[in-house]
């Protein structure tokens, strides 16, 4: 069983919203689930997996500028702020810190709801207490 964790983080790398999908599911499913709960921000940093025209339009409608590099298959290249994109490492550090908890790293829980609860508990203890 494989899962993929999608997260919305603040500028300091603290998770605000979490969503779990099956591992073989596209990142667009996680993006669609989290786009409604995005906080009021100026920029959104994301990796290539979130590069979709509908997602960029949804962000623009909310007044959020996207800093997402385009996929390699795109015919028309997408411009993005490379300096700002380098700060995405805070998100990767957040995922790494969550995986310091053995229960999260090895995914002991079979049920996705229980696994998401374990992730939320780990995130609360690491970042908010």
1 pLDDT band, cuts 50/70/90, is: low
Which residues 6+ apart lie within 8 Å of 120 measured at CB? 18
65-101 confidence digits (pLDDT tens): 999 999 888 888 889 999 999 999 999 999 999 999 9
All structural domains of the chain: 3-128 (3.30.420.10)
CA distance 113 to 110: 9
Helices 27-34, 53-61: crossing angle, 10 deg rounding = 10
pTM, 2 dp: 0.85
Host H or E run for residue 89: helix 89-98
Residue 25's pLDDT band, with cuts at 50, 70 and 90, is confident
């Amino acid at each position: 069983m494989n899962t993929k964790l999608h997260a919305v983080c603040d500028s300091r790398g603290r998770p605000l919203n979490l969503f779990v999908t099956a591992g073989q599911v596209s990142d667009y499913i996680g993006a669609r689930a989290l786009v409604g709960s995005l906080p009021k921000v100026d920029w959104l940093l994301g990796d290539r997996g979130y590069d979709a025209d509908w997602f960029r339009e949804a962000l623009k409608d909310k007044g959020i500028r996207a800093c997402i590099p385009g996929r390699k298959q795109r015919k028309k290249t997408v411009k993005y702020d490379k300096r700002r994109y380098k700060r995405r490492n805070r998100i990767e550090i957040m995922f790494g810190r969550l995986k310091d908890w053995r229960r999260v790293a090895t995914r002991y829980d079979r049920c996705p709801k229980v696994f998401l609860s374990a992730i939320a508990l780990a995130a609360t203890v690491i970042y908010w207490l």
